[in-house]
Amino acid sequence: MSGPTGGAAAPSPSEQDGPASESRSVKDRSAESQSPESQSAESQSAESQNQPPALRVSDLTVAYHRKPVIWDVEFSIPQGKLVGVVGPNGAGKSTLLKAIMDLIPRASGRVEVFGQPYAKSRRRVGYVPQRESVDWDFPVDALDVVTMGLYRQIGWCMPVRRRHREAALEALARVGIADLAHRQISQLSGGQQQRTFLARALVQDADLYLMDEPLAAVDAATEAAIMELMRQMQVDGKTALVIHHDLQSVPDYFDHVVLLNMRVVATGQTDEVFTTENLQKTYGGRLTLLDEATEAMRRRERSI
Amino acid sequence: MSEHWWRLISLQDHNTRVVILGTAMLGFAAGLVGCFTLLRRRALVGDALAHATLPGIAIAFLWVTAAGGDGKALPNLLVGATLSGMLGIASILIIRRGSRIKEDAALGIVLSVFFGAGVALLGVVQQTSTGNAAGLESFIFGKTATMVASDARLIGWASAGCAITCGLLFKELKLLCFDESFAGSRGYPVVILDAALMAIVVVVTIIGLQAVGLVLVIALLVIPAASARFWTDHLPTMLVLASLFGMTGCLFGAAGSALVPRLPSGAMIVLTTSAGFAVSFLIGFRTGWLVRWWRRLRLGASIDRQHLLRELYELFEQSPGRTSVSMTELLAARSWSSSRLRRILFHASRDGWITENISHSEFALTQRGQAEARRLVRRHRLWELYLIHHADVAPQRVDRDADAIEHVLDAETVAELETLLDAELGRARMPEDPHAAAGREGYE
């Protein structure tokens, strides 16, 4: 990585101060600026010490009509991890992903992807939206959908060419449905539709994947195939942040978890954080007081 | 009359030629652009936009007349129409953002308020001006007769512009319509793309005002695109078809209104275009009524055949050594009427699944039928087993549930069922009939 941070070649203290002083300007950041290095020193090998985290979210708050959906969310994901995001309905999981990608305005907070703002590292991020978020009766076939992952590469106003179609076909082969490339998307089963979405993210060859419930309502074979693929991606050094709904399989599938219910209840290694107590905090205790306060504020606003 | 027809068809008349060419180009562009608005679910915005142009037309006329110019010059009127139409769109956005009123209500409000204001202003126009205002109403219902060569040229250039924009932005617009949030995540400026789409809708609406009229111009944006959808699942094909539908609809509509004096061309164009829609609805290859009816018929026949084969297999299974079954037995086994059973048997024997022993009027399975029946019974019982063991369905209810779903099982699902049930079932063995098993358990 020819990173802008200077890397291992220039370890002079004055230079290291550069990025640190920048983050210090954000409140409460002076102590935090030390922690990623110490964290990675524990868990990572020496050569990755200077790698920025794949994703760092700090102080992120998103509100719809002044009702906060996620509140002061803060976590960081080292590179090469398979991370599950778990939380009840309405906990703001999809909102978190969308806010990371600047798809919805955020009330406050900062997101860094490989040490840079999202707009600069967009190329390295692959997004798998929720399957239900699109109209599957749309007049395109599976190959067309996968090719959409390459549109940025193809460029504005330029047509899709043979090599792009070949790359898309290869991505479809990786998810195991190359034979369905020319099938209209409404004729695909739920699992096959999900695989198509996954192939669309894969074809970009990104380094960080953000996936919104890729395992929701898919058949067992698809679930196994997707997990196999994710493990392969991890071997290749990719990072994935995956919203997941099935608590039982979390310890089998993910190294890291983020427990989310409007705010981050806990985050870290699955074996340390994924405990009954934390789960109860995530699913049981709602933030009743915060809820009530914001609801009252909204009611007053309606009346004005 | 026939001479009139001939002049029209051979395009001898300069004026007819202008009108026909102009409207055809309009229909082409509207069909093309309409596909994207239809897929983006923004079809009604075009309607509100069109209605919102009326006050602009009236004000432009008053202004230019007051300044001493020719109030009815088309370019001035269209500039007024564009500005007021865009003001209408802006009002929709403001109402939606600034209040809790939903989009459909905002559309309704803007559409009616602007149209009402326009009608009122037209009244003012008629009172103040000295008679040459007659003809402004033709913008409401459309009047191709007033079209001159320069108007047709304007329509031609604008349509070409729309077509080129759609062509250049084809893949970007496709992505916008299909998956907005993915487009955003890749860094496409969704708002600007939406604005670009809206801009070509504005252009099509404005050039359509004169020929089709502002009340009906929405039909050109929606109907050809919706008709094309009945024929294809392929977006480029859909674009081509919608353009053709729009073009032919406009051609025949304009020709029709040229034949019948005093008939608003907008109405004629909408009627001819919707005739195309009706045809597509009935016989469209993809989801037309006829195709769906045929598919239903085929599915029904295939289900009947499967039931027959299964029934025969199970009858032979119950009494080993038997090779043929009489019609009475089959009638008793299923709730088929005798005429229906006769039809099912006829088709099955024609297709080589069963043979008929005419002298005894008994039926036997052919070798091919035997294999197929075995496959069907096996699939049925696998599914029944699955329902009993994994979905907690009582054995008495299983047959009906299994019947409802199993006809849609594909090979992949059957393979999955087999892996799932492998523990309960030797690999190649035929599972036992769960009803028989349940009955036996009951006796024991």
Read out DSSP for B171-213? Answer: HHHHHHHH-HHHHHHTT--HHHHHHHHHHHHHHHHHHHHHHH-
Q: How far away is chain B from the Cα of A138, in angstroms, using its nearest Cα? A: 7
H/E stretch holding A75 reads strand A67-77
Tell me the per-residue pLDDT of A231-279, one tens digit each, with 9 for 90 and over.
999 999 999 999 998 999 999 999 999 999 888 999 999 999 998 888 8
Gap from A31 CA to chain B (nearest CA, Å): 32
Residue B144 carries which side chain, given as an amino acid letter?
T
Distance of alpha carbon B125 from alpha carbon B129, whole angstroms: 6
Can you give the residue ranges of every domain in chain A? 24-112+207-304, 134-205
CB–CB of A242/A83 below 8 Å?
yes
What count of other Cβ atoms lies within 10 Å of the Cβ of residue B400?
Answer: 9
Kindly report, residue by residue over B166-211, the tens digit of the pLDDT.
Answer: 999 999 999 999 999 999 999 999 999 999 999 999 999 999 988 8
B241 in the Ramachandran plot: left (φ > 0), alpha (ψ -120 to 50) or beta? alpha
Dihedrals phi, psi of A267, to nearest 5 degrees: -150, 145
- Inter-chain touch B177–A125, beta carbons under 8 Å: no
Decide the pairing of beta strands B325-326 and B362-365: antiparallel
Residue A64's beta-bridge partner residues? Answer: A67
Which of A103, A135, A159 is closest, CB to CB, to B181?
A103
Q: What is the pLDDT of residue B111?
A: 93
The pLDDT of residue B230 is above 70: yes
DSSP B428: T
Could you tell me if B129 and B65 are in contact, meaning their C-beta atoms sit under 8 angstroms apart? yes
- Contact assignment for A129 to B182 by CB distance below 8 Å: yes
**Predicted local confidence at residue B338, as pLDDT:** 86
Rounded CA-CA distance A39/B141 in Å is: 72
How does pLDDT run across B402-444, given as a tens digit for each residue? 666 666 666 667 777 777 776 666 545 677 776 665 554 444 3
Strand arrangement of the beta sheet that strand A67-77 belongs to: A67-77, A55-64, A108-113
Burial class (CB in 10 A: 0-12, 13-18, 19+), B438: middle
The length of chain B is 444
In B122-181, the residues whose Cβ lies within 8 Å of chain A are 168-169, 171-172, 174-175, 177-179, 181
Specify the higher pLDDT residue, B12 or B117: B117
DSSP state of A63: E
At A9, is the pLDDT very low, low, confident or very high (cuts 50, 70, 90)?
Answer: very low
- Which of A72, A71, A28, A74 has the alpha carbon at shortest distance from A53? A74
Residue of B nearest to A136 (CA): B178
- Pick one of 1.10.30.50, 3.40.630.30, 3.50.50.60, 3.40.50.300 as the CATH number of A24-112+207-304: 3.40.50.300
What's the pTM? 0.82
Give me the CATH topology for the region B2-286.
Answer: ABC transporter involved in vitamin B12 uptake, BtuC (1.10.3470)
User: In Å, how far is A222's CA from the nearest CA of chain B?
Assistant: 11
- At the topology level of CATH, where does B291-365 sit? Arc Repressor Mutant, subunit A (1.10.10)
Whether residues B171 and A152 touch (CB distance < 8 A) is answered with no
- Mutation choice for A interface testing from B39, B171, B192, B386 by most A CBs within 10 A: B171
Sort out which chain A residues have CB atoms less than 8 A from B100's CB and list them.
302
